[in-house]
């Protein structure tokens, strides 16, 4: 089975994670998908495939080299998709031999995937593209990665002439809500190094992520009948707007790129009596992230100065660190990935990830873990798509890496 065929099947599982559910996995659908993956892995011949009590899937492709003593490499992808885009009843299809023009995803609703809006589409002229009907996401983030890992597994298991050492596989829940590495069993996984397969274009080899934190801002107001409110009411909704205005307006995601960090307001809710703002704070530079935290705290102090102590309370939590500092001492991970991409006809590209992966946290848990492309684009969007041919190339990269680490000693 080809990788894209697996993606079409996996897209039918509505695996959105649920940030308000503290359980792991946070949604039952992820567990259903996990069990289906374990069944598929058993059918492929991965005898130790299993799902643990937290919904993590693990398995091993055993070495096929007598008395093998090389480096154990792993490949990791996540099972969940985002919830803030429609994710159920995905109608995925393949557009054959893309001609470079507009792709009408949904004629009735007038939804079009256009190279004018997304110029990268022009690089896929002649490719077959997996798309949706424009009303839901596709789920290529990260089911394309799962599809490529299991297609690699099938290739290795059915072609014993391809020599490799032990290959470890893992699929994680709840990555999209920042919990993908929370209960990952690094020691039990058994790999010395790994790659997440959770990127965009074929050829991506990513080893720099943001440093990340979250900020919860709680605002206490005072409600009273508006007819007698003069000098008494403190409207928490309006105070929240004042707070937001104190943060730099030119340091938002929609106004930044490259190595520029940002403050991103992800959620807001409130009444006159109480309001809450949720932010994610990001920067590739650790010191600059600390400055962003301080800016948030200064904004809170300013509001408390205006309306009284305790009006604003802020809770800041660190999420993950820039994994570059953990990858650079193991540069073979990048060199081998570059070689693998070139060997299957691509040109490797590394750029700072404006986000995070499970690998960012796993790298600090003792499992150095850069990220590879999946041949898919427009993640977290109803205009998401993947290239059949690029997915094949990404799969071929994984096979090459399996071969390289068979005889590699760091």
Q: What is the pTM of this model?
A: 0.88
- Residues near 152 by beta carbon (within 8 Å), at least 6 away in sequence: 75, 395, 398, 399, 402
Query: Considering 40, 166, 175, 251, which one is annotated as catalytic?
Result: 175
Reading the block at residue 366, the tokens are 């003792």
Q: What is the DSSP letter of 254?
A: G
- Would you call 80 a catalytic residue per the annotation? yes
Q: Dmax of the chain from CA atoms?
A: 85
- Would you call 84 a catalytic residue per the annotation? no
Q: Which of 403, 368, 404, 376 is CA-nearest to residue 124? A: 376
Q: Are 272 and 284 in contact (CB under 8 A)?
A: no
Q: Can you give the pLDDT of all 410 residues of the chain as single tens digits?
A: 999 999 999 999 999 999 999 999 999 999 999 999 999 999 999 999 999 999 999 999 999 999 998 899 999 999 999 999 999 999 999 999 999 999 999 999 999 999 999 999 999 999 999 999 999 999 999 999 999 999 999 999 999 999 999 999 999 999 999 899 999 999 999 999 999 999 999 999 999 999 999 999 999 999 999 999 999 999 999 999 999 999 999 999 999 999 999 999 999 999 999 999 999 999 999 999 999 999 999 999 999 999 999 999 999 999 888 999 999 999 999 999 999 999 999 999 999 888 778 998 999 999 999 999 999 999 999 999 999 999 999 999 999 999 999 988 87
Q: Which of 350, 364, 307, 402 is CA-nearest to residue 199? A: 350
Distance, CA of 329 to CA of 292 (rounded, Å): 28
**Where exactly are the structural domains of the chain?**
3-208+322-404, 211-319
Question: Residue 215: beta bridge partners?
Answer: 279, 316
Q: Is 3 exposed, middle or buried (0-12, 13-18, 19+ CB in 10 A)?
A: buried
Q: 211-319: same fold as 3-208+322-404?
A: no
CATH number belonging to domain 3-208+322-404: 3.40.630.10
Query: Considering 40, 80, 283, 384, which one is annotated as catalytic?
Result: 80
Alpha-helical regions (H) of 124-264: 140-158, 186-189, 236-245
Distance, CA of 23 to CA of 83 (rounded, Å): 16
- Residues near 47 by beta carbon (within 8 Å), at least 6 away in sequence: none
Query: Quick one: CA dihedral 171, 174, 176, 182, positive or negative?
Result: negative
Q: Are 179 and 360 in contact (CB under 8 A)?
A: no
The CATH T-level fold of domain 211-319 is Alpha-Beta Plaits (3.30.70)
């Amino acid at each position: 089975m080809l990788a894209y065929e697996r993606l079409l099947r996996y897209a039918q599982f509505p695996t959105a994670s649920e940030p308000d559910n503290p359980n792991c996995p946070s949604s039952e659908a992820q567990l259903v998908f996990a069990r289906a993956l374990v069944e598929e892995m058993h059918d492929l011949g991965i005898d130790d495939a299993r799902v643990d009590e937290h919904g993590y899937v693990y398995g091993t492709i055993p070495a096929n080299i007598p008395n093998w003593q090389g480096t154990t490499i792993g490949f990791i992808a996540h099972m969940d998709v985002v919830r803030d885009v429609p994710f159920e009843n995905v109608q995925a299809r393949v557009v054959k031999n893309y001609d470079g023009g507009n792709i009408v995803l949904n004629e009735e609703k007038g939804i079009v995937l256009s190279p004018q809006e997304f110029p990268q589409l022009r690089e896929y002229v002649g490719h077959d593209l997996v798309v949706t009907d424009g009303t839901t996401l596709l789920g290529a983030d990260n089911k394309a990665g799962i599809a490529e890992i299991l297609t690699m597994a099938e290739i290795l298991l059915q072609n014993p002439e391809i020599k490799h050492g032990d290959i470890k596989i893992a699929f994680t829940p709840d990555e999209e809500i920042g919990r993908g590495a929370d209960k990952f069993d690094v020691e039990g996984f058994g790999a010395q190094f790994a790659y997440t397969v959770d990127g965009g274009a074929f050829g991506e080899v990513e080893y720099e992520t943001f440093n990340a934190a979250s900020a919860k801002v709680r605002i206490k107001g005072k409600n009273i009948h508006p007819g007698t409110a003069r000098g008494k009411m403190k409207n928490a909704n309006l105070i929240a707007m004042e707070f937001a205005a104190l943060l730099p307006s030119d340091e938002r995601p929609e106004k930044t790129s490259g190595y520029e960090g940002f403050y991103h307001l992800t959620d807001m809710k409130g009444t006159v009596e109480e309001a809450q703002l949720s932010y994610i704070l990001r920067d590739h530079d650790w010191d600059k992230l600390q400055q962003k935290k301080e800016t948030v705290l200064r904004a809170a102090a300013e509001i408390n100065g205006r309306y009284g102590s305790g009006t604003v309370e802020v809770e800041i939590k660190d999420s993950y660190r820039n994994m570059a500092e953990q990858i650079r001492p193991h540069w073979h991970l990048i060199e081998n990935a570059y070689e693998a991409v070139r060997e299957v006809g691509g040109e490797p590209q590394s750029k700072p990830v404006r986000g995070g992966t499970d690998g960012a946290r796993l790298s600090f848990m003792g499992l150095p873990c850069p990220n590879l492309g999946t041949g898919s684009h427009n993640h977290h969007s109803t205009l998401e798509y993947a290239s059949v041919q690029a997915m094949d190339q990404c799969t071929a990269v994984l096979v090459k890496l399996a071969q390289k680490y068979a005889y590699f000693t760091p």
